[in-house]
Amino acid sequence: MTDQGLPVIDLAPLAGGTQEGVAAVASEIGHAAREIGFFYVRNHGVEAALIERTFKAAHQLFGEPLDAKMALTRDFFKTNRGYVPMKGENLDPSKPSDLKEAFNIGLDLAPDDPRIVAGEPFRAVNQWPDLPGWKETLLSYFNEVWALGRRLHEAISVDLGVERDFFEDKLDAPMATLRLLHYPPQPSNAEAGQIGAGTHTDYGNITILLPDEVGGLEVQRRDGVWLKAPTIEGAFVCNIGDCLMRWTNDVYVSTPHRVVNSGSRERYSIAFFLDPNPEAEVACLPGCLREGEQAKYPAISGADYLKTRLDASYEPVRAARDLNS
């Protein structure tokens, strides 16, 4: 456990696959998911060399000229793919736009994929910069962390009392987003209340985050106290998202967090947001209901749920852009 109280969970027993090992990891994740909603994971199986290449790819992309990056914004509001310019997102609508830029990819589909042709929700073709080897690096990282997310869901299933593979067919073609993020140092002339990423909760099932050594992530406890979540070498930061909280009838908690880059260095991070398949039914799990208790939320598809959350996040920026067009 860190000095700030965020659990550090060793996933080696999960990789071993024994019933006892899986149960031990499930118990630790379940406790963290109920109490603070955040935890670190070690021995996760993602190679350090791949992580290093992905960070280099992020530095390379965000170092490109602005016009080259803006060429990758095509239909972003429709697809959630491509480049998000500085101040192009507003995670806390009560505050000024976020001081960050980002780049998103999702499940990599060809233009003639039947799901693209049919116009299925949240299915889109990725946009790629013209940088040698860049696409291959990002897709390798996407696939490795996607696999890690599915392994974490095995432990989550055990903790929640459902079959170990309960989530597998709900995460085999997910609306997952791999997001590269770049935060400049907080400028002295920033608007009041403007920070790297405003206070928010994540929308999906689980987020697997890899921040660089600069730090800046802060997590809000239930009593309102903000905890710093420092970078731990070789560990991911994971947190429960709103969709999994809904699936568990609020047994698991999706915790508010923010990014404050108050130092003098640029900050980079790599976030993987694991949302379920578009058609997956998000409905209260039976084991998450006490006797006589009713489900707090009606069943909803994964796609419909994500749409409501993304619309709320981008609407203030989209409205401002429309007014200035």
- Report how far apart, in Å, the C-alpha atoms of 101 and of each of 63, 98, 104, 210, 249 are: 11, 8, 10, 16, 34
- What is d(CA 295, CA 186) in angstroms, rounded to the nearest whole number? 43
- What is d(CA 140, CA 137) in angstroms, rounded to the nearest whole number? 5
**pLDDT, position 295:** 93
**pLDDT, position 1:** 53
pLDDT band of residue 9 (cuts 50, 70, 90) is: very high
Identify the burial level of 187 via C-beta atoms within 10 angstroms of its C-beta, where 0-12 means exposed, 13-18 middle and 19 or more buried. Answer: exposed
Q: What are phi and psi of 150, to 5 degrees?
A: -70, -35
- What is d(CA 152, CA 265) in angstroms, rounded to the nearest whole number? 33
pLDDT at 323 exceeding the cut of 50: no
| Contacts of residue 164, Cβ cutoff 8 Å, sequence gap at least 6 | 22, 154, 157, 158
**pLDDT, position 318:** 44
Is 0.85 topped by the overall pTM?
Answer: yes
Q: Give start and end residues of each alpha helix (H) in 17-113.
A: 19-35, 48-62, 66-70, 76-79
pLDDT at 325 exceeding the cut of 70: no
Rounded average pLDDT over 247-276: 94
Q: Which residues pair with 257 in a beta bridge?
A: 200, 219
Q: What percent of the chain stands above pLDDT 90?
A: 75
pLDDT band of residue 322 (cuts 50, 70, 90) is: very low
| pLDDT tens-digit series, residues 133-185 | 999 999 999 999 999 999 999 999 999 999 999 999 999 999 999 999 999 98
**pLDDT, position 312:** 62
pLDDT at 316 exceeding the cut of 80: no
Rounded average pLDDT over 83-97: 88
pLDDT band of residue 18 (cuts 50, 70, 90) is: confident
> Does residue 25 contact residue 151 with C-beta atoms inside 8 Å?
no
Buried-exposed string 50-64: b where 16+ CB fall within 10 A, e elsewhere: ebebbbebbeebbeb
Q: Domains of the chain, with CATH numbers?
A: 8-323 (2.60.120.330)
**pLDDT, position 103:** 97
> Does residue 274 contact residue 88 with C-beta atoms inside 8 Å?
no
pLDDT at 4 exceeding the cut of 70: no
Picking from 22-36, 233-247, 285-299, which range would have the lowest pLDDT averaged per residue? 285-299
Is residue 39 within a helix (H) or strand (E), and if so which, with residue range? strand 38-42
